[in-house]
């Protein structure tokens, strides 16, 4: 994620800011990719702290307009959790916008979001036919950590959920192209295999022996659909980590040049090599504070080939190239 210029003075603005350091209200323009000190602001600004501009006074911003169902406000913590969930959605949508997804120049369908709070029963997250269902309760850190440990996952955040579920939607968009399906099946396998049976087998038996040689996560080994979603999410993780590293003014001999833009990079192997080197260094820094690794995953040769495949399609797929 970029670090943005203050539109009314000196200093920087971070992506989630609602105001400058001196208190001037600002909002993010996702089309121009900068902050503006003037309305119209999103209608959800006072409700959930949305900091994007709207097309007109009283309207929703581009991101909030994608939310078809909002959580039941009578459920405890629904609104605070929804606030964090929408912030994660804006972050991921802006990442994808760097590759033209869901912007005006993208002629395809936009995702529709169902943001649901959890009462007495969990909300299953997923994607069907362009609709992404998200449990806003996963924004609660205690619940997220509890489920991460129960499922033996090394990483579980709302941004991670957004990247994974939106990646399913991206697959759905790309699957309308016959050339994509043929290439996908060659790389990931046949997604027409029984999905419910595959998940039941995964949760009953666990991943196959040696799964780390072929998959980024154990869940990716369950079915080609999940392998795609996990791989695409990890491409977004690695690209955004690298972009944020550069935007923060940090340096590394691995960076190809000053001001290098990971989202413009056409050489996926170079991007993945740089990202893998940087996350190894940041993992080392985290350990100095007794924290978990920022990116606790190993990139096998097969996983890298899958990342290259996803990079190729995500860079050109939004505009039908």
Phi-psi region of 210 (alpha: psi -120 to 50; beta: other; left: phi over 0): left
- Distance in angstroms (rounded) separating the CA atoms of residues 246 and 264: 13
pTM given for the model: 0.94
Is the CA virtual torsion 117, 119, 123, 128 positive or negative? negative
Across the range 187-195, mean pLDDT stands at: 96
By DSSP bridging, strand 4-5 and strand 112-116 are unpaired
Q: Can you read off the two tokens belonging to residue 230? A: 């996990």
Q: Is the pLDDT of residue 321 over 90?
A: no
Helical H segments across the chain, by residue range: 45-48, 78-97, 141-150, 158-174, 178-188, 195-205, 224-247, 268-288, 301-317
For the chain, counts of helices (H) and of strands (E): 9, 8
Pick from 227, 237, 109, 217: nearest CA to 162: 237
What is the distance between the alpha carbons of residues 318 and 170, in angstroms, rounded to a whole number?
9
pLDDT digit string (tens) for 246-293?
999 999 999 999 889 999 999 999 999 999 999 999 999 999 999 999
Indicate the SS3 state at residue 200: helix
Residue 190: per-residue pLDDT: 96
Residue 168: count other Cβ atoms within 10 Å of its Cβ. 21
Contact 83, 49 (CB under 8 A): yes
Averaged pLDDT, 63-83: 97
pLDDT bucket at 320, cuts 50 / 70 / 90: low
Helix (H), strand (E) at residue 117: none
Take residue 200 and report the two structure tokens written for it. Answer: 């039941």
Chain centroid to CA 69: 20
Please, what is the Cα angle at 85 between 83 and 91, to 5 degrees? 105
Query: CA 216 to CA 230: how far, in whole Å?
Result: 7
d(CA 136, CA 49) in angstroms, rounded, equals: 15
The per-residue pLDDT for 120 is: 83
Per-residue pLDDT tens over the stretch 77-129: 999 999 999 999 999 999 999 999 999 999 999 999 999 999 888 899 999 99
> Which range, of 141-150, 192-201, 294-303, averages the lowest pLDDT?
141-150
User: How far is the C-alpha of 80 from the C-alpha of 303, rounded, in Å?
Assistant: 36
- The overall average pLDDT reported for the chain is 95
Tell me the average pLDDT across 8-15: 94
Tokens of 144: 């997220």
What per-residue confidence (pLDDT) applies to 169?
A: 97
Cα(166)–Cα(286) distance, integer angstroms: 28
CA distance linking residue 171 with residue 314, whole number of Å? 10
Residues 22-57 have pLDDT tens digits of 999 999 999 999 999 999 999 999 999 999 999 999
The CA-based angle 102-123-86, given to 5 degrees, is: 35
What distance in Å separates the CA atoms of residue 315 and residue 10, rounded to the nearest whole number?
34
Percent of the chain with pLDDT over 90: 90
pLDDT at 60: 98
Check whether 319 has a pLDDT greater than 80.
Answer: no
**Chain centre distance of CA 104:** 20
Give pLDDT, residue 259.
86
């Amino acid at each position: 994620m970029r670090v943005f210029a203050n539109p009314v003075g000196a200093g920087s603005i971070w992506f989630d800011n609602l105001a400058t350091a001196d208190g001037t209200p600002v909002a993010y323009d996702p089309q121009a990719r900068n902050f503006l000190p003037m309305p119209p602001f999103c209608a959800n600004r006072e409700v959930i702290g949305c900091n994007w501009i709207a097309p007109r006074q009283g309207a929703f911003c581009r991101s909030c307009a994608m939310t078809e169902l909002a959580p039941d406000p009578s459920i405890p913590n629904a609104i605070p959790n929804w606030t964090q969930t929408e912030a994660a959605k804006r972050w991921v949508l802006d990442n994808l916008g760097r590759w033209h997804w869901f912007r005006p120049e993208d002629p395809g369908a936009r995702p529709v979001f169902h943001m649901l709070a959890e009462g007495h029963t969990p909300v299953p997250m997923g994607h069907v036919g362009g609709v992404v269902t998200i449990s806003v309760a996963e924004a609660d850190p205690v619940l997220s950590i509890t489920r991460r440990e129960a499922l033996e996952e090394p990483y579980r955040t709302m941004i991670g959920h957004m990247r994974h579920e939106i990646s399913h939607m991206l697959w759905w968009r790309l699957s309308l192209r016959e050339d994509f399906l043929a290439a996908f099946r060659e790389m990931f396998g046949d997604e027409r295999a029984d999905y419910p049976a595959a998940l039941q087998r995964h949760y009953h038996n666990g991943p196959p022996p040696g799964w780390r040689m072929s998959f980024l996560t154990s869940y990716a080994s369950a079915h080609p659909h999940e392998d795609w979603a996990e791989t695409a999410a990890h491409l977004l993780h690695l690209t955004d980590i690298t972009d944020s590293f550069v935007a923060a003014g940090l340096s590394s001999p691995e960076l190809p040049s000053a001001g290098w833009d990971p989202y413009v990079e056409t050489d996926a192997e170079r991007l993945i090599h740089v990202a893998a080197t940087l996350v190894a260094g940041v993992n080392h820094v985290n350990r100095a504070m007794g924290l978990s690794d920022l990116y606790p995953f190993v990139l096998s040769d097969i996983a890298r080939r899958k990342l290259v495949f996803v990079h190729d399609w995500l860079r050109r797929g939004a505009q039908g190239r």
